Structure 1
Amino acid sequence: MCADGCCAPPPAVAPDRRAVLVRRVRLLVVATITYNVVEAVIALTAGTVASSGALIGFGLDSVIEVASALAVAWQFSGRDPEARERRALRVIAGSFFALAIYVTVEAVRTFFAAAAPESSRVGIVLAAVSLVVMPALSAAQRRAGRELGSASAVADSRQTLLCTYLSGVLLAGLLLNALLGWWWADPVVALAIAGVAAKEGRTAWRGEHCC
């Protein structure tokens, strides 16, 4: 249960207002997909060059955010979005679990191999930009999703918000490696990303996102 009552059934939404909210969700989905495609390409490329598991994990999270946004786009492309909600949530949950497994394996491998990643200025800039962009997108998604009473839209907003937290953690890890040479901060950050992803996957699978 939610202490603030956010899980209570939402009030009925007038048809005109509902149409506006559905269009808003669709536009936000397009914005999320566009940004995350760019973010994924940059993060995966920079992560591969620097052999950074944290950056690669961040890039994969961006790929999964695209999959999540596409699931929501598919849901709201039909005449009855509620009928597709459970399947959309399953896709979102599965993408979280896949990220958690992959990043955990790579982080453990990097840590025990003591393979020091190189510093990445590109990754530092990317993480800083995401700290600004992602909170705004997430807040807009969450407001529209709650008013619509859509658990999948709220779940997608949580995934976008997750990217904000991951951006902060990633930025800290990359700076520690670049400024202090703490290479082990990279796999530690990757494991943190995996842990949060697993938690979010479980929440989405159970359909527990507040709307």
Structure 2
Amino acid sequence: MTVVMNAAVSDRRTVLSRRIRLFAAATITYNVIEAVAALWAGGVADSSALIGFGLDSVIEVTSALALSWQFSAKDPERREHLTLRIIAVSFFVLAAFVTVDAVRSLLGAGEAQHSTPGIVIAALSLAIMPVLSWAQRRAGRELGSRTAVADSKQTLLCTYLSAVLLIGLVLNSTLGWWWADAGAALVIAGIAVREGINAWKGEACCAIPDADHGHANSCCAECGSDAVAVTVAAELGTKPAER
């Protein structure tokens, strides 16, 4: 019975690790395309928000590459701390650049112009990113990987940014509120700082079993049944002597 349970848990972890690598690959592919399109559109329209959105896509690629590097190892947990640091720093770099560019725009360096391509890009991301983020976060929680959950938050941030960007671009296009673009960029920067701090502290909610006490860490309180499922699996698969 013990051997069977151990094999089942090991197989499940393998499947989840493979899924996370696939989600990371999908994130990289989409965001490379999104980054090129957003940076081009932002340069044409002199839009701080669009440029910030494009840079966020570059940061997401960096984060996903770090996650892929982690899960390419035989023991991904050994690389988790460094990967979290890479993800956190990527958030801070994004926030710093976007803030400087937005303030520069507000001080009169240039008014953002109407951008139909930017609106299309924001709308597409608003539809695609939530699904990808949810799938990766679910796999990360079940596996108990803080980095996978943190990277899914990076992807979820793209959803927030898409909504903020879309609002700013539409207000600029329909009402001529050029400053809405810079305001949207500053909101993007604020969200990035918050998520960067959480990633640096390792406060990505996930289901990491506590081997000594037989329960999930306190950060899992909001994770629901995934945390319970992994804890039970860990109990059955790693502590046969106690049953």
Same topology, TM > 0.5: yes
The gaps in structure 1 that reach 5 residues or longer are 1-11
What TM-score, normalized by structure 2, do the two folds share? 0.81
Distance (whole Å) between structure 2 residues aligned to residue 93 and residue 185 of structure 1: 27
Q: Choose between structure 1 and 2 for higher RCO, CA contacts under 8 A separated by at least 6 residues.
A: 1
Match in the other structure for 1:69: 64
Match in the other structure for 1:29: 24
Match in the other structure for 2:237: none
Match in the other structure for 2:169: 174
In the comparison of the two structures, how many residue pairs are matched? 200
Does residue 1:93 correspond to 2:81, yes or no?
no
Work out which of the two has the higher radius of gyration on C-alpha atoms and give 1 or 2: 2
Across the aligned residues of Structure 1 and Structure 2, the Cα RMSD in angstroms comes to: 1.0
Match in the other structure for 2:240: none
1:31-53 residue CA offsets vs partner (Å, 9 max, x unmatched): 00000000000000000010000
Deviation of 1:115 after TM superposition, in Å, equals 2.2
Distance (whole Å) between structure 2 residues aligned to residue 155 and residue 136 of structure 1: 16
Does residue 1:207 correspond to 2:202, yes or no?
yes
Distance (whole Å) between structure 2 residues aligned to residue 110 and residue 116 of structure 1: 7
The gaps in structure 2 that reach 5 residues or longer are 1-5, 207-243
Give the AA of the match of 1:105.
V
Aligned runs of 1:1-211 on 2, under 5 Å?
14-113=9-108, 115-211=110-206
Give the AA of the match of 1:30.
A
Deviation of 1:114 after TM superposition, in Å, equals 5.9
Distance (whole Å) between structure 2 residues aligned to residue 194 and residue 30 of structure 1: 25
The share of aligned pairs that are identical, in percent, is 67
Distance (whole Å) between structure 2 residues aligned to residue 70 and residue 119 of structure 1: 33
SS at match of 2:203: coil
What TM-score, normalized by structure 1, do the two folds share? 0.93
SS at match of 2:61: helix
